[in-house]
Amino acid sequence: MSIWLNYHLQAIKLVLARMHNNKLSSFMICLVVGAAFCLPGLFYIGVDNLSKLTDHMQNETEISLFLKLDASADTITKIDALLGKNEAIKQFHLVTKDEAWQKLKAKSETNDEASDAVNQLTKNPLPDAFFIQAKSADPESLETLRNELQSISGVEQALLNTEWAKRLSSLLALGKKIIFFISVLLAVALLVIIGNTVRMQILTQKDEIEVSNLMGATSNFIRTPFLYAGILYGLFGGLLAILMIVAVVQLFNDSIAQIASLYSSDFSLALFNAKLFVTIIGMAIAIGWLGSYLAVSRAIASIIQVQKSR
Amino acid sequence: MIKFDQVTKRYPGSDEALKNVSLNIEAGELVFVTGHSGAGKSTLLKLIAAIERPTSGTVLIANQNISELKPSAIPFMRRRFGLIFQDHKLLYDRNCFENVILPLHINGVTGLEAAKRVRAALDKVGLLHKEKAMPITLSGGEQQRLAIARAVVSRPSILIADEPTGNLDASYAADIMAIFHAFHQVGVTVIMATHDARGMSASQNRVLHLNHGALNHGELNHGESKIEGSAS
């Protein structure tokens, strides 16, 4: 056990020393890995935050129930009772046409044009309306509720304001698919990049591999330092990607806070997304390992082959 | 210990490098392999060290047939040998100490124990004072001695040397030969390919003479024949 541990520590030390000796090129490789992971990571953060935002908005959706203009007080009480019995409804309130009219007038006073337009109206054009909040935020059940409400007699129109939210969330689903494909493509590119890097390192260490092989080193013994090199490139690259993402998010947050304040919201991008960061590092390490494994296995096979045919 | 039975080795696209060679080497022997260049000396050594496999015939090392060894077993077979090459095959990106410690790391020996054994091996070849030096700064003879230190540090039971004195002048070569004799004295089997007779003239040792891939009879300086080579 301690021999095994010692051996792995030796391998890591060796690789770190090699990286230290080639600081610039090691840094470049990590930078490539970092940039490649930064891109889908940022995209993910964008989509993730947008979908949180739409969830938030969907929670606030109301169904507006506009009654027919000639609805009598009787109809209103009937509908009121009906809504009170409906289990899907969390709460509702009535805004009568007179209240709505007063509100409109009060609001339009600050705006001359609107005030003129309102004053020209001789008769109140507004209907009585119920504003309903449903218990569930799920678009489908909202839709059924809306249809149900629409069929009540005396109702002119039941309006659900989630159409745009639905569109946005389907766009976001598309965005998530795009992220997936970009990530897969970049992962393949990284496999090749890391594999190539490790292959070049193997070429510079051809003698060592050959001599080790002649002295009875197992393939695992030869392979291990290169695998650690791949893993470390992935690890450092992943950390760089996270740094870049945090920097970019920080940069964007200022302008986002400005926009959000225009909409009187305190929305901002979450700076730390533990799940994303762990995923990035995990993926980077896995890709680093796999890339160097493929490269080193091929290289060892060919070096041993050359040595045999000599 | 080492037994060849009618071994033939043919490389793709060339003649037979070894033809129908049978021989038997006992533990503790000092054996010279001689012959003109291209006679198959290196091939013979590579077969012994399990670097090559015979085209036909059997090679038995410690009663194991190397043709039937699994690839995963070959590294462990090789650890029985200390290999020394004419071109040293030293690693020039690390100092003498680190060169010699490599076989110990391969064998899983690390730490103080490894350092002790490296210094002992360097001491044996007279390079203890150069442990921090880079191999490129050593003379040809010193580099060869370093290669010997590396070969013996893991205490192999068989030393295989391919023309270890090939590139050296007479006084260096005598040093190297003395080192090999010293290992033979303590019971190590030594098999050495050489084209010059200076090192072996003084001693009563076995000589395997190869001629165009075939073993010649009658080269024995000692006792009864253990060689049944075919006349080509």
Provide the whole-model pTM: 0.69
Q: Are residues A71 and A25 in the same domain?
A: no
User: Across the interface, do A7 and B89 touch by the CB < 8 Å criterion?
Assistant: no
The residue among A309 and B47 whose pLDDT is bigger is B47
Tens of pLDDT, residue by residue over A43-71, are 888 888 877 777 766 666 677 888 887 77
Q: State whether A176 and A283 are in the same domain.
A: yes
Q: What is the distance between the alpha carbons of residues A98 and A124, in angstroms, rounded to a whole number?
A: 8
With CB atoms and an 8 Å threshold, state whether B108 touches A308: no
- Domain ranges, residue A110: 62-161
Structure tokens at B41: 């000396």
How deeply is B139 buried, as exposed, middle or buried, from its count of CB atoms within 10 A (0-12, 13-18, 19+)? exposed
Residues 10-39 (A) with a CB less than 8 A from some CB of B: 10
Does one domain contain both A221 and A135? no
The answer on A270 and A195 residing in a single domain is: yes
Domain match, A155 and A178 both? no
Q: Residue A212: which of B92, B106, B111 has the nearest Cβ? A: B106
Using a CB-CB cut-off of 8 Å, the residues of chain A touching B107 are: 216
Nearest to A211 among B49, B89, B108 (CB): B89
The residue among A132, A161, A190 that closes a domain is A161
Taking CB atoms and an 8 Å limit, are A216 and B110 in contact across chains? no
Give the Cβ contact number of residue A81 at 10 Å: 10
Give the minimum alpha-carbon distance from B100 to chain A in angstroms, rounded to a whole number: 11
Measured in degrees and rounded to the nearest 5, phi and psi for residue B160 equal -120, 120
Identify from A209, A213, A215 which residue to disrupt to test chain B contact, counting B C-beta atoms within 10 A and taking the largest count. Answer: A215
Structural domain count of chain B: 1
Residue A235 and residue A250 in one domain: yes
DSSP labels, B47-62: HHTTSS--SEEEEEET
Give chain B positions within 8 Å (CB) of A202: none
A19-33, A92-106, A201-215, B155-169: least confident range: A92-106
Distance from CA of A226 to the nearest CA of B (A): 16
Q: Which of B8, B13, B55 is nearest to B213 (CA)?
A: B8
pLDDT one-digit tens code per residue, A183-196: 888 888 888 888 88
- The segments of chain B whose pLDDT lies below 70 read 196-204, 217-232
**Is residue B59 domain-resident?**
yes
CATH code for position B30? 3.40.50.300
Domain boundary among A161, A178, A202: A161
Whether A258 contacts chain B with CB within 8 A: no
Encoded tokens for A220: 């695992």
Same domain as A178, residue A126? no
Angle (nearest 5°) at CA B180 between B144 and B87: 25
A146-192: pLDDT as tens digits: 888 888 878 888 877 666 667 777 888 888 888 888 888 888 888 88
Task: Name, in order, each residue with C-beta under 8 angstroms of A34's C-beta and a sequence gap of 6 or more.
Answer: A236, A237, A238, A239, A240, A241, A243, A244
Overall domain count for chain A: 2
Model pLDDT for residues A200-247, shown as the tens digit of each residue = 888 888 888 888 988 988 888 889 988 999 999 999 999 999 999 989
Assess if residue B224 is contained within a domain.
Answer: no
* pLDDT over 60 (residue A275): yes
Is the domain of A10 the same as that of A53?
Answer: yes
In a domain, B228, yes or no: no
Task: Please choose, from the candidates B92, B53, B99, B50, the residue with its C-alpha nearest in 3D space to the C-alpha of residue B75.
Answer: B50
Query: Count of A–B CB contacts within 8 Å?
Result: 55
* Cβ neighbours of A223 in B, within 8 Å: none
Which of A126, A161, A196 is the last residue in one of the domains? A161
Are A173 and A270 contained in the same domain? yes
CA distance A191 to A181: 15
Residues A181 and A298 in one domain: yes
Q: Is 70 exceeded by the pLDDT of residue A16?
A: yes
pLDDT above 60 for A94: yes
Q: Is residue B187 domain-resident?
A: yes
The answer as to whether B12 is a domain residue is: yes
Residue B17 lies in a domain: yes
pLDDT on residue A90: 77
Together in a domain, A154 and A172: no
Buried b (16+ CB within 10 A) or exposed e, A239-268: bbbbebbeeebeeeeeeeeeeeeeeeeeee
Q: What are the structure tokens assigned to B43, written together?
A: 């091939």
ipTM of model over 0.90 = no
Q: What are the φ/ψ torsions at residue B87 (nearest 5 degrees)?
A: -95, 25
Burial class (CB in 10 A: 0-12, 13-18, 19+), A78: middle
Q: Which residues constitute the domain of residue B45?
A: 2-215
* Whole-number percent of chain A with pLDDT over 90: 10
Chain A residues 201-220 with CB within 8 Å of chain B: 207-208, 210-219
Tell me which residue in A3, A7, A216 faces B78 most closely, judged by beta carbons: A216
